Amino acid sequence: MLHLNTPLAKAVCLLFNRALPLLDGRDPGTVRIYVFGGCALHILTNARGSADIDAEVIASEHLLKEEIMAVYAAPEDYEQDGLDLSVVFDQHFNNSLCPLHEDYEDRAIPLPGHETSPMQVFIAHPIDLAISKLGRFTERDQEDIHLLIRAGKLDLDDFGRLAREAIDYYPCDKGTVTSCLRLILDEAREQDRTP
């Protein structure tokens, strides 16, 4: 289940929809957007949000991608709990900076109602979101992975297997990232054993 009716999720969708006029008359899936980071976590769990959108934009034409990124340069404002907030598209997000399984696109969760749209938006599958957080592995990243586990969004065996596959071809200190994965799995299994 995706949480698409929160103020943040609605703001994210409004921001993405700004590019629709550029895509009028184009084929379905001309542009595909894969959302990661705090916004993906929020849409998957209704937990913490984020002030920026980490997303990969894949367009059939390079120039089209540049035009779309320009449309996303301004923040999208929204209100939540009486506060005026905004969310901005992170123009510098690059998924090659974090471990990512090669099949993440196949597992991504499409936003409903966009199947025939020229712009299709996908939320990273919880497993791929968790794998992406193993790269930086800040305290917040660790909390996010544990949140996905507690919410029942991650099968630990699948997560461990796919994360190890991603680490195998990620250009990084494989020992460090593997240690981060082992720490998360050990902590999660220990919590399962705690009454």
Whole-number percent of the chain with pLDDT over 70 = 99
Per-residue pLDDT, 195: 60
pLDDT for position 44: 97
Tell me: the pLDDT tens digits for 16-33?
999 999 999 999 999 999
pLDDT in tens, 107-161: 999 999 888 999 999 999 999 999 999 988 999 999 999 999 999 999 999 999 9
Q: How many CB atoms lie within 10 A of CB 65?
A: 14
Q: Which helix (H) or strand (E) holds 122?
A: strand 119-123
**Interaxial angle between packed helices 139-150 and 174-193, expressed in degrees from 0 to 180 and rounded to the nearest 10:** 40
Residue 76: pLDDT band (50, 70, 90) is: very high
Q: Mapped to the 3 state alphabet, what secondary structure does 64-88 carry? A: HHHHHHHHCCCCEEEEECCEEEEEE
d(CA 55, CA 15) in angstroms, rounded, equals 12
For the chain, what is the mean pLDDT?
92
Taking the domains of the chain in order of start, what are their residue ranges?
7-193
pTM above 0.95, yes or no: no
194 pLDDT more than 70: no
In single-letter form, the type of residue at position 69 comes to M
